[in-house]
Amino acid sequence: MRLAIGRRLPLATVTSSQTGTEDTVNAVVRDGISLAACTTLRLGGPAARFVQGERPRDIVDVVRAADAAGEPLLVLGAGSNLVIGDDGFDGTVLRVANSGRGCDRLGDGLVQLTVEAGENWDQTVAWTVAEGLGGLECLSGIPGLVGATPVQNVGAYGVEIADLLVSVDLLDRSSGQVRTVQADALGLEYRNSVLKGTDSAVVLRARFELRDGGASAPIRYAELARLLGVGVGDRVPAAEARQAVLDLRTAKGMVLDAADHDTWSAGSFFTNPVIEDTELPAVLLRAQSVLRPEETMPSWPGGIDRTKLSAGWLIERAGFPRGYAGPGGKVGLSSRHTLALTNQGGASTADLLELAREVCAGVRAVFGVELHPEPVFVNCVL
* Cα 151 to Cα 190, 219, 243, distances in angstroms: 11, 24, 26
- β-sheet bridge partners, residue 331: 343
Distance CA 366, CA 313 (A): 12
Distance CA 313, CA 110 (A): 39
Q: Is 265 exposed, middle or buried (0-12, 13-18, 19+ CB in 10 A)?
A: buried
DSSP state, 114? E
How crowded is residue 148: how many other Cβ atoms within 10 Å of its Cβ? 28
The number of residues in the chain equals 382
Per the annotation, the verdict on 209 as an active-site residue is no
Distance CA 368, CA 155 (A): 26
Per the annotation, the verdict on 191 as an active-site residue is yes
| Residue 312: CA count within 13 A, CB half-sphere | 15
Annotated catalytic residue, options 55, 57, 101, 191: 191
CA quadruple 171, 131, 268, 320: dihedral, nearest 10: 180
Annotated catalytic residue, options 54, 116, 160, 374: 374
Distance CA 7, CA 289 (A): 61
Per the annotation, the verdict on 374 as an active-site residue is yes
Distance CA 271, CA 94 (A): 27
Annotated catalytic residue, options 167, 265, 268, 348: 268
Q: Could you give the residue numbers annotated as active site? A: 191, 268, 374
